[in-house]
Each structure stands twice: as C-alpha cells, then as structure tokens.
Amino acid sequence: MTVEQRSMFKKSDNTYSIIVDIGNTDIVCALFEADSIVFKCRLKTDLTMDISTYHSLIIRKMADYDLSSVRHIGLGSVVPKMTSLLKEMFAIYFKAEVFEIDGLSELSLSYEIESRSASGADLVANALAAFKIYQKNCIVVDMGTSTTIQLVTQDAVYKGLIIAPGLKSAADSLIQKAARLEDIELKTPTKLLGQNTIESMLSGIVGGHIRMIESTVWKICKEYHEISPFKVVVTGGLAALIEPVMPHGYVYDPDHTLKGLHYALMELLEKR
C-alpha cells in the first residue's frame, strides 16, 4: 500500500468494522469499510499472551487506520478461552459493540445437522458466505488445522460436514512417526513421482491432500446428484498450497470465511 493510499484511509469519514476469525493456529483480523476489506493481518493463537499484548499487536498492525471509528466487531472462534480473552480486550480498549458469531446465531441459514451448537463459527461463516455470494449449491473446502468439507444449498440449507486431518497436521504426524524423514517446507509439488525424498514427500503430503479433496468432492456430487451441479470454493490458511493445482472450476477465495463473518455481523445488526 502506498503512502497516498494510507493517507486516504486515515482521512476517511466512514466507520469501520473489525472481523476476527480465531482458529486453533492463527487469528485473522480484517478491517472492513462498508463491504470491503481494507486491511488484513494474521496473529498467532497464543493463550500465554495477555490482553494488553494482543491490543498492542492489533494497534501496531493497524496503525494506518483510525480505529476510534470502529463501531462494530464480529468475532468468530473455535477456541473458547481465546474468545473470552479477546472479548475482554475489545471491551476494555474499543468503544464498539462485540457480536459473537456461532452455530446458535440467528442468521439466514437452516440446518440439517443434529446440533447447531456444535457447528463452529468458521463453518457457519463459510456456509453463509457461500449462500450470499454464489446463490448456488456449494461445496466449501476450508484448509486449516483440520480440513473441512461442507455442503450448502442454494436455499441456505447447511446439509452436513466432513472433517479430515489438516494438511500440516498430517505432515507433522508422518514426520514424527518416520525416523528417516525430516521436516520440510510445505509447498506445491511440481511432479507426481518424486526423484528424491523431499519431492516424494511433497507429492504425497500436498498432492495427496488435493487428491483426497477431489475424490471427496466427486463422492458428494455423486451422492447428492439430485441437487447438482455444485460450486466448489476453497479457502483457509493452507489453501494457497493447492491453489496452483486445483481442478478447473474450483474457486480459491482466501477471504471467504472473513466475508461470511461480516455477512453474519450485518444480519445480526439488522435484526436488533
């Protein structure tokens, strides 16, 4: 971002909203102006850090913006202890309403799962964003600590979910249990059959993960053929690793969950 762009945002008279997506590994904070993300940053999920430390990190990363104009904060979390910590932080340091988003939030979704309360904020956000953005039957793949694959209909029905070990979790498990394998940097594989240990591991770990996703998507399409075709959306912190080799027609959107949390915040504000 240029100095001129930073100056422009500093002088903006519009109010901002902050969306916070708390995951097991990372916390993603996004500053929205109207419906657009103007800034995004990533923090580590670390329960050993206190409220003032997290506040200092956020203020420093968003130093180019006037956070006194933040009126609403939407918070989605899969880490309850971190939820409490950040809610307290926002209550102390920000003059803004905090809305926690989860499976029990009254949104324009209906559910076929057994317990709405068991549905994490990220899954609710992914389902809502799929409905709002595409208005089609969607399969949403979210690659984080775990890889989740969910089916959402064009009528905003959250039909169900698959949870698989995440790409990095699977890699760490393999390396820990195989004495002769060393830790490697995860990146997109360049070939199917590796000619050395690193190439072979990348093909198996990263390439294998995309093949797992492809076959699962195919199986969902076959089993739910009566409501096909489907839009396939891929998101999550590790999704960039497979984006270059995704099947044609898949949509990569790194901000899909953030957009869903923002849609949820807007719906909750409208219903007050």
The residues annotated as belonging to the active site are 122
- Beta-sheet pairing, 26-33 with 16-22: antiparallel
Separation of alpha carbons 224 and 129, rounded Å: 21
Q: Which phi and psi (to 5°) does residue 31 adopt?
A: -100, 120
How far apart, in whole angstroms, are the C-alpha atoms of residue 127 and residue 56? 32
Q: In 3-state terms, what secondary structure has residue 49?
A: coil
Q: Which residue has the tokens 């989740």?
A: 148
- Give which of 134, 133, 111 is closest to 123, Cα–Cα: 111
Pairwise CA distance, residues 143 & 212, whole Å: 12
Place of tokens 């996004």: 30
Nearest alpha carbon to residue 214 among 163, 141, 136, 137: 141
Residues 78, 81, 84, 85: what is their CA dihedral angle, to the nearest 10 degrees?
-110
